[in-house]
Structure 1
Amino acid sequence: MSAVWRERREEQENMLSPYAAKSRNSLGRIVDEPKCPIRTDFERDGNRILYSMEFRRLRHKTQVFFNAKNDHICTRMEHVLNVGSIATTIARTLNLNQDLTYAIALGHDLGHAPFGHSGEKVLDRCLKSINPDYSFQHELHSLRVVDRLATRISKEKINEKCGLNLTFEVRDGIACHCGENYDEYRLERDTTKDLSSLKNMKNRSAKPFTLEACIVRLVDKIAYVGRDIEDALRVKLIDINDIPLEIRNILGHTNGEIINTLVCDLIENSYDRDCIQLSHEKGEALQSLIKENVRLIYQSEKIKRYEKTAENIMEGLFYDLLKCLKDFERLKHSELNIYRKFYNFIVDMDYDEDEPDEQKVIDFIAGMTDGFAMKCFDEIYWM
């Protein structure tokens, strides 16, 4: 098929803001490959993420409330889709690249562990118990997922060691999306980056390469702050009056009002500028609201009790699977399904000799859903 359709779409990108990322100017992929005749490279990346198994599993991964039985409680997948919707609206209004923005948003949490940030903290602690120089950060593990762990099958390659083989711009946005810098409400891009910038990256707060990635980084906070309050109200963990009135008067009293206030403010303060920012008033209010969420929700007694369950499960899986690797072949013929799955996972990943056992265990556990992690724990310790 002629590539004229893609070329026409690439020409349309010339109408975008001078600050927008253009797909034809991408720094490229890890492995060169023929271009799609219809889709731009950034749109193609979004599709690869959307159709991946790693994305599908997000529907059963925790956002805040673990293993929720209530269908109306936010899951990790819903959060990702919310970020994609909000970020794309902003990119469209600022005349930036919507395809790039959406791809980054879809992929930004692919590396999240089971049980949300609680699971992330446990895996980080487990790694540091092996080597203090090791760490687990979901942003960087999301990059590892798209670069190494995720698989796709095509006529050209089957399960090669390049993951989804995404463009640099999408990979950079995923690795630099950190939404835990609560006091950050103005972002400038780092245009000095090149293809080597993501190698051995350890600084989770590094500035993104594109404004589109800056949008996702700020929207990550906008998407979760009000929704987490909404869920906490639904499970009767808090009362709306627990949120200080002065904050609600600035940002709004509902999730929809909060999102609308912050999106409008961000657009007004970022339009035709080489940065993405909120006003000082709204930025400070957002920071204050997140801190209230930390106090009322994330550090609540109920969540802490759930965290103890998550900690027991994650530690139990990590140290047991690490021990099992000392006799790798026994995993293949084990009566336990979890051990056979772990064996097949390692064989399929075709690890290099220099990759440590603890990394293999982390890769396997971090990809689990909440329910599968609990099932595996029960199989190991209670069956």
Structure 2
Amino acid sequence: MTKNLFKDVRMDEFHPEFKNAKKRLEPLYQRNNDLRSEFGRDYTRIIFSQAYRRLKHKTQVFFAVKDDHVCTRSEHVNLVESISYTIANYLGLNTELTKAIAVGHDLGHAPFGHGGERIINELAKKYGLESFWHERNSLHFIDNIETLEDNLHHRQNLNLTYAVRDGIISHCGEMNQKCIVKRNEYIDLNDYTSAGLYNPYTWEGCVVKMADKIAYLARDIEDALRLKVLKENKVEVLRASLNSIASDYKFNAINNGTIVNYFIQEVCENSNPVNGISLSQEAFEIMKTIMKFNYQNIYLIDRVQIHTNYVNLILNSIFDFFIKYYLIAKDSNSSLINELLKDQDDYPHAINGFVHWLKKYSRMKGLERLDIYENKIIYDFIEDDKAIIKSIIDYLSGMSDEYIIQIFNELISF
């Protein structure tokens, strides 16, 4: 293997597209003594955000298990950060950029994993909104929802660089790609209409896209074994199958360390600026074999479907609960927030959380925002009849699993 093959195309101040890559939607306030690069600043803005903190209580695959060692969404993004850093560092790419993309790539992921994502998408389409998918929702969260306090305690949007925003919406790890080649076009990221529509704008984004899949292949198998969803004999069948494909490599075990190391080595050995961030054909077959195994034995089993039905009940019940107050307010020509606050004592967590959400992001009659909020208004209840739908869906998609269950239990308790 040859190190630093990508050093001449890394995204830094010497790259011809760096001016585009570091652009922000608005000027970002500056400190005279800031030591960080633009991408380094993005990294810390992400890990200081509340959405990043909530990832520790969001499902990766297995929901709400009372086991500290089962993977959460937070662990997943940290694994992606580690894998992408190792690959980018070897190839000579900008590791600060890969780290920022990696820790931010799932900030807008729905609660309850991909099952929750599908249910929220069904709600969005039922009420006439565009399709919901977590890559675009992650961009929505970092552009419009997540805020940080500035030096004056005013809350402002994250306002990240184009390269990080692009890497986040372009990261789709569910696609089967042997080679990922960066796109050259500097596009409006709002032009995305489906996951994986475009490849990332930077090689660093391509690395994160590949690392996203590497991170969960064996980690999900480890969790399935721990929770007795899988038995060792099935994993042994998978191991034999992989060894029948591999010509110069022997899998002595199927675990996270072994699989991650194998694919990192393969990416580093087969990637170059002509062919892209690449796997060998053999490694690609091994990746597809593991993915097929995971779908058949983990993601599509009956237990997961039963859990999805439970999640469907939770999400739809909370959605119906909130929209009821909007309909009451509309029929009586009263204030939505006043109608919500009438039941504040009965449903303190549900009502207070949603009222705070509305006050922070909404424009509506009779509502005065606090001076500390300098973030964007995204729900215009005066001009947009879909504002209530958008606000509820955003609120649901941002919740952690634990918080959403707390809300649900409050609604069904007597």
Deviation digits for residues 328-383 of structure 1, max 9, x if unmatched?
12113422121121011111113342362111001111111111111111212333
Alignment of 1:1-383 (within 5 A): 17-22=7-12, 25-27=18-20, 28-35=23-30, 37-131=34-128, 134-155=130-151, 158-160=154-156, 163-181=157-175, 183-194=176-187, 197-205=188-196, 206-243=198-235, 244=238, 245-247=240-242, 250=246, 252=251, 253-271=254-272, 273=274, 275-326=276-327, 327=329, 328=336, 329-334=338-343, 335=345, 336-337=347-348, 338-350=350-362, 351-353=378-380, 354=384, 356-383=387-414
Q: Hey, which of these two has a bigger chunk of helix by percent?
A: 1
Q: CA deviation at 1:22?
A: 1.2
Task: Return the alpha-carbon distance in structure 2 between the equivalents of residues 15 and 118 of structure 1.
Answer: 40
Q: Which amino acid aligns with 1:263?
A: I
Deviation digits for residues 188-220 of structure 1, max 9, x if unmatched?
1111124xx212521211211011111111111
Task: Return the alpha-carbon distance in structure 1 between the equivalents of residues 194 and 80 of structure 2.
Answer: 23
- Which structure has the larger Rg? 2
Contact 2:85 2:95 in 1 (8 A): yes
Alignment gaps of 5+ in structure 1? 1-13
Contact 1:16 1:97 in 2 (8 A): no
**Residue 152 of structure 1 aligns to a residue in which SS?**
strand
**Residue 358 of structure 1 aligns to a residue in which SS?**
helix
Tell me: CA distance 1:279–1:167, structure 2 relative to 1, closer, same or farther (3 Å). same
Deviation digits for residues 78-125 of structure 1, max 9, x if unmatched?
000000001001000000000000000000000011101110010001
Q: CA deviation at 1:240?
A: 3.4
Q: Greater CA deviation, 81-90 or 319-328?
A: 319-328
Alignment gaps of 5+ in structure 2? 330-335, 363-377
Contact 1:333 1:340 in 2 (8 A): no
Task: Return the alpha-carbon distance in structure 1 between the equivalents of residues 326 and 142 of structure 2.
Answer: 25
Task: Return the alpha-carbon distance in structure 2 between the equivalents of residues 357 and 272 of structure 1.
Answer: 47
Tell me: CA distance 1:59–1:248, structure 2 relative to 1, closer, same or farther (3 Å). farther
Task: Return the alpha-carbon distance in structure 1 between the equivalents of residues 6 and 160 of structure 2.
Answer: 22
Q: CA deviation at 1:16?
A: 7.0
Deviation digits for residues 210-255 of structure 1, max 9, x if unmatched?
1111111111110001000010011111123324322256483222
Task: Return the alpha-carbon distance in structure 1 between the equivalents of residues 111 and 67 of structure 2.
Answer: 18
Task: Return the alpha-carbon distance in structure 2 between the equivalents of residues 341 and 49 of structure 1.
Answer: 22
Task: Return the alpha-carbon distance in structure 2 between the equivalents of residues 23 and 103 of structure 1.
Answer: 17
CA RMSD of aligned residues (A): 2.0
Q: Which amino acid aligns with 1:331?
A: L
Q: Which amino acid aligns with 1:225?
A: L
Deviation digits for residues 275-294 of structure 1, max 9, x if unmatched?
11111110121012111101
Task: Return the alpha-carbon distance in structure 1 between the equivalents of residues 325 and 189 of structure 2.
Answer: 32
Contact 2:5 2:273 in 1 (8 A): no
